[in-house]
Each structure stands twice: as structure tokens, then as C-alpha cells.
Chain A
Amino acid sequence: MTLFDRVFSGNDAVYGLTEGAINDAISKYGEDKAVSFPDTAYSLPCYYSVTGTKVTTLKELKDALGVVKSLMTRDHQLNDAFMSGVATALCAEFIEVLKYIDGQVPYELPIYGHLADAVIRELGVPLVTGDIPGVAVILGSAPSVEDAVALVKSYQAQGILVTLVGGVIDQVMEAGMNTGANVRVIPLGKDVTAVIHVVSVALRAALIFGNVKPGDAATLMDYTMKRVPAFVNAFKPLDDVIVACGAGAIALGFPVITNETENIFRVPKSLIVQEDVSKFNATSLEARDIKIKITNVDIPVAFASAFEGEIIRRKDMQVEFDGSRVDCAELVHTVDASEIEDHKITLIGPDLDEMADGSKNSIAYVVKVAGKKMQPDFEPVIERKFHNYINCIEGVYHTGQRDMQRIRVSHAAFNAGFRAKHIGEVLYTQVKNEFDAVVDKCEVVIYTDPAECTRIRHEVAIPIFNKRDDRLANLTDESVEVYYSCILCQAFSPSHVCVVTPERLGLCGAVSWLDAKATNELDPTGPCQVITKERPIDENLGSYEDVDEAVKKFSQGALEHVTLYSIMQDPMTSCGCFECICGIEPFSNGVVIANREYAGMTPLGMTFPEMASMTGGGVQTPGFMGHGKHFIASKKFMKAEGGVERIVWMPKELKETVAERLNKTAKDLYGIDNFTDMIGDETIATDPEELVGFLTEKGHPALGLDPMM
């Protein structure tokens, strides 16, 4: 027998029962007898949601059954199975409503049966907010009472709303479990048809919270699939009626997880066989894509940003890990979801209590993450937060990154019970909480065994770091499809918009293209938005219609045109938090760059603050531009005016910082060796004429270029 046959046969059986029940009711009460569920404005809720027609009397119920019959097509297409599933559910609703006829009270607490609209409005809010992360529908009898209780409790602990149908109700009663809406365990009824009462909740939620129009079945099913995080756990044996109900659940987007292996057909993501009942929880959550919010970090000391600045002195220190002396590493590594187990924390090597007081040790922690939306480009973004996470632990401090981190654990934290695994606990919790948009599963491995640390550092971490650096170095404006806007600073610079490209990071120096990309992914309505680059106007200037449109939109109309590569024509604006400013120096045809830290005079006759006053506030001042330090060595640095060979002066300290990369760029672009030696600084000249003398002596290329204005 195929799965289709089982669904159809279950559907036919339920239809037969329903028809008989309605006919019996009509002969007993007459056609005009009223039928309704109590305390709902949507009677009958499921039928009304799907068809848009309200049913109030037995006659109308009989007519409705005719409509249901029309859903029961028998071609062997997927849609036939789904529609037969829906038909089965509607029949179940009819059977259930007949139980309420003539003011009967078919269910008594602790068994709920039909749930009132008020309950849905109340449950709907936490469902929307994610405080109830999911709805479990448990159907049938678990292999044992213990299994039933363990499963229900596991969902309860996660805040998931549990509804019970069938034998499992007796099992939790036998165990003496507390049930009720207040503890989020709701027994619906012992007949399989009682499952309709949770379907009714899902469909009414779509009407109330989703503004879905009754009768718009396609939108309805789209809503339940995307917004109602329900799933079904069905215990064996599954008869055809349950299989048909299951088809209805799947039609609404609710996966069915079962331990039945006889005569069952696996459907990926929809009908899942999990023989081990203790794994129902994990399998269900993964199938329905439910993420559990973690509210507290399970460590023996406090965790708060108040401890971020805490310094652990040598005499207060229990143990130290120091990447500058021994092999250490910290790493985020993207893996496939099947390779890891969520929240598993492993320690390889001695724990803190096996290390001598005051000793220096190796440590390496690898945070393995998996997620449908995870990209290796986000790894460094997550990794960079480790410093902040570990520092927030009371009595632990952290500096550095990659393989140069240094961690100290205080005596007080150690005595309170802090051990190596707690570092893993903190990393796990924080990564899951803060990066839940991209991280679905996370596992942490902590190495303290020195040989393992050496292996991880040199064979795993460093090759990955190198790969990342290569990727960054190879990222060019031409090699990517999109740029990003950044309007983080608009709170105080209302019309400024940064256009962040791989070769031009934000002028604050803190937002690279990868950061902007990650920010966009993590917070899709946030400050970094995608800017396409499909309609170039002038590639040399770096002007695009798309960029102009974006800038106009994000500056609320204050800016109309921005070029990416020119300092003279429509230069990019600055907020006020630029690391550096470059300004045109007319005597030498070049530009002078000053960094924020530089307090002295420049050959322009202006100090940094004076230059800043001309540049900030989101205004375009041709000839002046704010930018990040990293941008100086970019091949796109004022490319339209000739590039870095225009740089004639920088403060000595800044020159030293950028020398290596700038020399390489000048070599690549113009074949000039040791270009920075040709650039003046405050020890050489702060007077324009002296500067020109120096440049002439060095043969600086800017002197031979066309004037910029």
C-alpha cells in the first residue's frame, strides 16, 4: 500500500463516520438544530477559515460535508493527499462539534476540548514574540509512561506549548503531572478527532493575528507554514486515520515526527521517522526550525558588561593562558549541521584545577557553528565578539584575538567553581543569542592539552586565518555584486551616508564591507542596506545610478550624487567620526592626510580639527574628504585623480602605520619602490614651500601630474 492509499483510506473512513454522525444527529434533533463551538466568533473555525462559510445548523453542516467531499480527489498527486488530509481534519471538526450539540459538555478539565477565542488571543501574543517558541502536538501513547513524561517535560522546559491527544493523556495523568494552560500542557481529548482543537487554534491565529481573510486557503496555509511553529509527534502504531490527519498537518506546514517504522513512507522535512523517542525533541525542533532563546548563562560566577573592564593582577591570578608565549588560538568554524550536536561542550586536556596556581598554559577553543544562513564570511565577525564575551565573565579577563589571545582567571572565580568548560558555556550562549539569525547549531571544543593546542594553532587555525586574509586582500570592488550603505551615524549627522565597498571601508575605520554584509544579514532592517551596482555612469569616478539613488534615499534627499573614487567631484560625505582627513595641497598638485591623533600643523595651514570643521556634518566639500586609515593604501584611494601617488604629506606616525601596505600599492600601480620615503611629514616640513622643495628633491610623482583644480 502506498502512502496515498493510506491517506485516502483513512480519509474515507473518517468521512463515512462523519456522514453517519450527521445523519444520526439530524434524525434525532432535526435539520434546524443549531451547532456551534462555545466562545468563538468563528464557528466552525476550521471550516470557516478554509472556505469562508459559517456553519450554524445541522442542515448547513450537511451541506458543508458536500463541500468537504469535493476536496477528496483521488488522483495520486501530492495535492490529492494534502487535500484529503485537510478533508479529514474538517470531518474531525464536524464530529467534534456534534459532541457540543444541545448544550452538552463533552469535555471536563483537565481535558480541554475546544479552546475559546480568548485563550488564543492570550497565547497568540507570546507566540508572536517567541516567548512560546513552538507548539507540540503529541498524539497516541508513548512507549512508556516515563517516555511520555520526559518528552512533555523537555518541551515544557523550553517554553513550548504542548497539546496532548489520545493515550498520552492517561500516561501523564498516571505520572501525576500538572497540566493546564498555565503550565503550557493542554490535554485536548482522547479521541484522535480532538486533534482538530489545536488545528483550530492555528487557523484562528491566522485570522486574528495574520489578518487572513476566511476562505483564502492559500494565504491561510502560507501563514500557518511560516508563522505557526507547530509540529506533530505521533507514537506508533499509526493507523490510516492518523496518517490521513498527518497529511492534513503537513498541508498546513507542520512536520510529523513518528517512531513508526512499519508501512510508513519517509518524506524529507515533513514525515520523519525517529525511532528513539528521547530524540523526538531535537528532531522536531530541527525539522520545524525552532530556536530556543537562552535566558541565563549557566556559570558559577556573574556575567555582565559591568565586568568588562576588570583587570586581574598577577597576584590575584589562578591561571593564565598566553598566546604570545605558548600555542593558543580562538576560532569560529562553519561546519555542516549533521557534524555537530547543539550545546555540546568538550574539554580535551587538563581542567583548571589540574593546572598549578599561577601557571601559564595553552588554550585553544574552536566554536563550530552551523546554520542555513551561515557564511564563512561571518566567522571573523563572530570571533571578534569573543573578547567582549569572555571579558564579561566576573573574574576572567581577555585581550587579543586569533592566536594571540591572553586570558587570566582570578582566584575568586576559580574558587567559585569556574572551570574551562564554562568558557565554552559562555561562548555557546552568547553566540546562539546574538547570532541567532545565522547560527542554528553550535558546539564548542576546548583544548588545553599543549600538543593539541599546537596542532590546532598551526594546522587548523593559522591556515584558516591565512585563507581569510587572502580573501580580504582579494576582495575588490569589481569582484563583488553589491555594496552596502551604512547610516549608523545619522543620529548625529543626519544627512551622511557611507557607501561601503570592499576597497573602501567606512570612514570611521570600523565597518568593512564584510562587517556591513554581516550587519545586513543579522539585522535586515538595520543601518546597513544592500546597494546594487548594476547601472554604472562612470567607472573611473565610481559613479553609479544605483548608488546615487541609495544615497538620495538614505540621506532623505539631502545628497543627490556621490562618487566612490573622486575627492573633487561629488566626494563621499563624512559624519564626523573619520579616522583621517585628506585635503588638497595646491602647490604640489597633491593631497595632505592628517589623522585624528595628530595634534600639530599641516602644510595646508590647518590642524586636524580645522580640517574636520570643513569636512564633517554630511556636507560635500570638493577637495576634502574623511576616510579610514585602511583606505590610504587602497588602489581605489582617489583613483579618479590618479590614486595614492597624489599623497605628498602625512604625520610621521600615520606614515609608519600604513608604510608597508602603501608601498606595496605604489609598487603595484606605478612601479615605485619605497614610495613612503617620498612623502613628507612634520619632521620634514609643515610649510608648503619647504614641502615642495623636499618633494622636488625626492622626485615625487605628484609634481608631474595635472593640477587637480
Chain B
Amino acid sequence: MPFNQKPQKFNAKINTVKIGTGDKAIEIGGESSFPFYSFDAPVPVTQKVGIEITDGGLEAMPECIRAYYDGASSMGDIARKAASFEGVDFLALLLDGGDPNGANKSTEELIAIVKEVAEAVDLPLVVEGCKNVEKDAELLPKVAEALQGRNVLVMSEKEENYKAIGAAAGLAYDQIVGAESAVDINLAKQLNVITTQLGVNGAKVVMNVGTAAVGYGYEYVVSTMDRIKGAALGQNDNMLQMPIITPVASETWGVKEASASEADMPEWGPVEERGIDMEVSTAAADLAAGSDAVILRHPKSVETISRLIQALA
């Protein structure tokens, strides 16, 4: 019997969101099929890969990543170096040093870093907060202000601080809002609803629906992303049609598989390979589940995932 292909057609699509300005600007989203199902419908833009650096600079990097930044001395150098690696579509700056329970860097200090990084590169920028909702509510509006005109994605807008971050990034300074929820389709949708009720244009919202490293309750992530794409495309739910960006690195580099030393775990093999493996396998799974962009740290991971996307496009 001959094979009869029946394409799964959806009369809905994910919003296309442009990040950055000029030649290097990228678009994410735009698909009207499940991830990599290019046999069902043409996929207008491929998924994008970002490289993440943090305000902690070289000291905060695992040794195996630091080696790639040899010779960089300032945050500007680090940013330039990060932008030069193969497969990098955008640069993500994680401001985790702002956490009051951690380094507790001041907003002024972090804004200076943000500006330095922004001046060093012309790639699209994604800025992630420190995860403390009060601090982010103070810090991220300042980020949105400092980067006026760059069309950056300001992440870490949560239900607790959506007004401050949504109003600043989405209304006052015309940036893109990254709405973050914790692995639950209803919470993701509710945050989009209240963010747009605030007046933010839904076409300028990107979702971070939460993630985990593979093996760490990861099946919830798959289920959530899968159901979001299902509702967005199958039911034309426009409060779920925002593209998804997933910060993979901040999850995977903290787990024991990536961090345990070779002295402690000789049977597990080289620590660098393990770190890359965790990052690559998580990112590949996120993309297959519905992420339109992923954020990684290791240049090898970026290269690998970028090639995967090209090969499957």
C-alpha cells in the first residue's frame, strides 16, 4: 500500500516576535505546526540559540567554559567573545548577582554592566533578572530604560511583579516582555492575560514557561510545552500564541551531573563532557517539546544545538 501523507493543518500560528535591531535582529515563533514538523507546514523561521553570560563574569563560569573566554578582561570583552562563537543568534545576560540572598549587587552596579555589554555587541539582547521578585521589580525597569531603542527581551516578568516589569518594558520603554511562569499551562496563560490587560501588546510578549534539567521532573516541562502548543494551534487560543524561550543553562549547570568533580565521581567521566551533555540533551528536548529559542552557556553546546536546528530545518 502506498504511503499517504496527511498533513496536520492548523488554522492558527504562533506570533512572530522580532528581537534586536538592524542586520543582526532575529525573529522567533511564526510556526503553524508542531516543532520540526516541516512536513506538515512550512516553518518560516528556525529556532534560535542564545549564549548566556552573567554579571559575575569569568569568576562565575565553570572552569571548562572559562577556557573559551581566555584573554577577556572586562564584561565588554566577555560579551564580544561570546558573540563570536559559532551558532550564536543572540546574547543573554543573566543578572543573578542582584539577588539579595546572594551577591546583592546594587541596581546601579548591574545597570553599568548591562550598558557595557550592550555597547560591546550589536547582537539581539536578552536580559534575565536575579529571580528575586522584589529586586527584579526594581532592577528590570531600569534595564528597560537603559536599553531604550535596542528592542531587547526583558525576561523574568512573573505574576508577583508583572505590573512593574510589564509596564516598564512593555509600555514605557517599548521593549519585549518575557513572561515567566512555573511549568503550568494555566499559570502561563493567566500571566499573558494580566500582562495584556495591563496594556502590553500581546505580539511583544515571549513566554518562559519554566524548565528543568532532563531527569529532574522534566516530563512536566514536556507536557506543559506540548499542551501550550496544542492549545495555541489546535484551539487558536491567542493568549497562548506567544513564542517560548527557555533558559536551559541556569538549570543544567547546577545539577550534580554537570558539577560533581572528576575526583568525586571518577566513573562519570570528564566533567566538561557531562556539562555539555546535560545542556545539549535538555535543549534538544525543549526544542522538540515546543521552545522557539533556548539559552545555553557552553560554546560547544551552542554549536551542537545550532547544527541540530539547521539539520532538521
Contact A209 B172 (CB under 8 A): yes
Cα separation A121 to B167 with both chains bound (whole Å)? 10
Enumerate B185-212 residues with CB–CB distance to A below 8 Å.
185-187, 190, 193-194, 197-199, 201
From B164, B186, B193, B223, contact of A125 by CB (8 A): B164
The residue that B186 contacts in the complex, of A209, A211, A487, with Cβ under 8 A, is A487
CB within 8 Å of A: which of B54-109?
Answer: none
CB-CB contacts of B175-190 with A at 8 A, as 1s and 0s?
A: 0000000011111001
- Tell me whether A124 and B171 are in contact (CB under 8 A): yes
* A123: min CB distance to chain B, Å: 10
Is there an interface contact between B185 and A490, defined as CB atoms closer than 8 Å? yes
Q: Which residues of B contact A209 (CB under 8 A)?
A: 167, 171-172, 199
Given A494-B223, A556-B235, answer yes or no on A211-B201 (Cβ-Cβ < 8 Å). Answer: yes
Chain B residue at minimum C-beta to C-beta distance from A492: B220
**Residue B135 at the chain A interface, CB threshold 8 Å:** no
Say whether, besides A494-B227, A556-B227, A128 and B167 are in contact (CB < 8 Å).
yes
Contacts of A491 in B (CB 8 A): 183-184, 186-187
The verdict on A210 contacting chain B, using a C-beta distance below 8 Å, is: yes
Report chain B residues within 8 Å CB of A642: none
Min C-beta distance of B116 to chain A, whole Å: 22
Q: Is B253 an interface residue (CB 8 A)?
A: no
Is B231 engaged at the interface, CB distance under 8 Å to the other chain?
yes
A683 within 8 A of B: no
Report how far A491 CA is from B220 CA in the complex, Å: 9
| Distance of A559 from chain B, by nearest CB (Å) | 13
Q: Which of A129, A211, A487, A553 is close to B167, meaning CB atoms less than 8 Å apart? A: A129
- A613 located at the interface, meaning its Cβ lies under 8 Å from any Cβ of chain B in the complex: no
Q: Considering residues A121, A211, A553, which has the most beta carbons from chain B within 10 angstroms of its beta carbon?
A: A121
Q: Is the CB of A129 within 8 A of B163?
A: yes
B141 contacts the other chain (CB 8 A): yes
Residues of A within 8 A of B221 (CB): none
| CB closest chain-B residue, reference A491 | B184
Q: Within 8 Å CB of A126, what residues of B?
A: 164
Q: Does B186 lie within 8 Å of A490, measured CB to CB? A: yes
Q: Is the interface of B mostly helix, strand, loop or mixed?
A: helix
Let me know if B193 and A208 touch, CB within 8 A.
no
Of A121, A131, A557, the contact of B172 (CB 8 Å cutoff): A121
A380 at interface by CB-CB < 8 Å: no
| CB of B173 closer than 8 Å to a CB of A | yes
Taking CB atoms and an 8 Å cut-off, the chain A residues in 465-496 that contact chain B are: 487, 490-491, 494
Complexed CA–CA distance, A643 and B230 (Å): 38
Is there contact, CB below 8 Å, between A124 and B172? yes
Question: How far apart are the CA atoms of A122 and B167 in the complex, in Å?
Answer: 10
Q: Are A557 and B234 in contact (CB under 8 A)?
A: yes
CB-nearest residue of chain A to B198: A128
Bound complex: CA of A129 vs CA of B194, how far in Å?
Answer: 12
Interface assignment of A130: CB less than 8 Å from any CB of chain B: yes
Which residues does chain A contribute within 8 Å of B141, judged by CB atoms?
A: 125
- B40: shortest Cβ distance to chain A, in Å? 18
Residue of A nearest to B161 (CB): A129
A129 to B199 alpha-carbon distance, docked (Å): 12
Query: Is there an interface contact between B172 and A556, defined as CB atoms closer than 8 Å?
Result: no
Interchain CB contact (< 8 A) of A130 among B163, B172, B187, B223: B163
Q: Which residues of B contact A211 (CB under 8 A)?
A: 171, 199, 201
Number of residues on chain A facing chain B (CB within 8 A): 23
Q: A516-554: contact bitstring with B at CB < 8 Å (1 yes, 0 no)?
A: 000000000111000000000000000000000000010
Interface string of B227-244 (1 = CB under 8 A from A): 100110011000000000
**Chain A residues positioned under 8 Å from B168 (CB to CB):** 125
Q: Which chain A residues numbered 636 to 656 have a C-beta less than 8 Å away from chain B?
A: none
Q: Are A125 and B167 in contact (CB under 8 A)?
A: yes
Which residues of B lie under 8 Å from residue A128 when comparing CB positions? Answer: 163-164, 166-167, 171, 198-199
**Does any Cβ of A come within 8 Å of B145's Cβ?**
yes
CB distance from B194 to the nearest CB of A (A): 6
Instruction: List A117-176 residues whose CB lies under 8 Å from chain B.
Output: 121-122, 124-126, 128-131
By the criterion CB–CB under 8 Å, are A208 and B235 in contact?
A: no
Output the nearest chain A residue to B164 by Cβ-Cβ distance: A129
Determine the distance from Cα of A122 to Cα of B194 in the docked complex, in whole angstroms.
21
A378 to chain B, nearest CB (A): 21
Residues of A near B227 (CB, < 8 A) are 494, 556
* Contact A124–B230 (Cβ < 8 Å): no
A residues in contact with B167, CB < 8 Å:
124-125, 128-129, 209
**Shortest Cβ distance from residue B238 to the other chain A in the assembled complex, whole angstroms:** 13
Contacts of B187 in A (CB 8 A): 491
A473 to B88, alpha carbons, bound, how many Å? 65
Q: Are B145 and A121 in contact (CB under 8 A)?
A: yes
B108 CB → nearest A CB, Å: 15
Do A525 and B193 contact each other (CB < 8 Å), given the known contacts A125-B172, A128-B167, A556-B235?
Answer: yes
Task: With both chains docked as a complex, state the minimum distance between the C-beta of A147 and any C-beta of chain B, in angstroms.
Answer: 34
Chain A proximity of B32: nearest CB distance (Å): 17
Chain A window 311-355, contacts with chain B (Cβ cutoff 8 Å), 1 for yes, 0 for no = 000000000000000000000000000000000000000000000
CB of B145 within 8 A of CB of A527, answer no
Q: Which residues of B contact A490 (CB under 8 A)?
A: 184-186
Q: Are A557 and B231 in contact (CB under 8 A)?
A: yes
Residues of B within 8 A of A122 (CB): 145, 172
Smallest CB separation, A554 vs chain B (Å): 9
Q: Which residue of B lies closest to A223 (CB)?
A: B199
Contact partners of A553 in chain B: CB under 8 A: 235
Q: Name the A residues within 8 Å of B194 (CB-CB).
A: 525
- Pair A557/B230 contact, Cβ less than 8 Å: yes
Q: A381 to chain B: closest CB distance in Å?
A: 20
The verdict on A210 contacting B184 (CB below 8 Å), with A128-B163, A129-B164 known, is: no
Complex CA distance for A108 and B163, rounded to whole angstroms: 34
Contacts of B234 in A (CB 8 A): 556-557
Which of chain B's residues 277-309 have a Cβ closer than 8 Å to chain A?
none
Shortest distance in angstroms between B219's beta carbon and chain A's nearest beta carbon? 11
Q: Which residue, of A209, A211, A556, has the highest number of chain B Cβ atoms within 10 A?
A: A556
Q: Produce 1/0 per residue, A211-249, CB < 8 A to B.
A: 100000000000000000000000000000000000000
Cα–Cα, bound, A211→B204 (Å): 13
Complex-state Cα separation, A128 to B137, whole angstroms: 13
Whether A494 lies near B185 (C-beta < 8 A) is yes
* A101-129 interface bits toward B, Cβ cutoff 8 Å, 1 = contact, 0 = none: 00000000000000000000110111011
- Give the distance to chain A from B195, nearest Cβ to Cβ, in Å: 10
Tell me the smallest distance from the CB of B218 to a CB of chain A, in Å: 15
| Inter-subunit contact A526/B185 (CB<8 Å) | no
Q: In whole Å, how far is B107's beta carbon from the nearest beta carbon of chain A?
A: 14
**Cα distance A129–B163 when bound, in Å?**
5
The answer to whether B231 and A208 touch across the interface, beta carbons within 8 angstroms, is: no
How many angstroms between the C-alpha atoms of A17 and B186 in the bound complex? 59
Residues of A within 8 A of B185 (CB): 490, 494, 556
Q: Which A residues are in CB contact (< 8 Å) with B190?
A: 525-526
CB distance from A489 to the nearest CB of B (A): 10
Is A210 a contact partner of B163 (Cβ separation < 8 A)? Answer: no
Check if B198 sits within 8 Å of A121, measured CB to CB.
no
Provide the residues of chain A in CB contact with B171, threshold 8 Å: 124, 128, 208-209, 211
Bound: A556/B233 CA distance, A = 11
* Complex-state Cα separation, A526 to B168, whole angstroms: 24
CB distance from A389 to the nearest CB of B (A): 21
Q: Smallest distance from the beta carbon of B185 to chain A beta carbons, Å?
A: 7
Within 8 Å CB of A125, what residues of B?
Answer: 141, 164, 167-168, 172
Shortest Cβ gap from B140 to chain A (Å): 10
Cα distance A516–B185 in the bound complex, in angstroms: 20
Could you list some 5 contacts between A and B, CB below 8 A? A125-B141, A128-B171, A209-B167, A525-B194, A556-B185
**Sample of 10 more A-B contacts, CB < 8 Å, known A211-B199, A490-B186, A494-B227:** A122-B172, A125-B164, A128-B163, A128-B171, A128-B199, A130-B163, A211-B171, A490-B184, A490-B185, A526-B190
Write the residues of chain A forming the contact surface with B, with a CB cutoff of 8 angstroms: 121-122, 124-126, 128-131, 208-211, 487, 490-491, 494, 525-527, 553, 556-557
Which 8 A-B residue pairings sit nearest by Cβ, starting from the closest? A128-B167, A129-B163, A121-B172, A209-B171, A556-B231, A491-B184, A525-B193, A125-B168
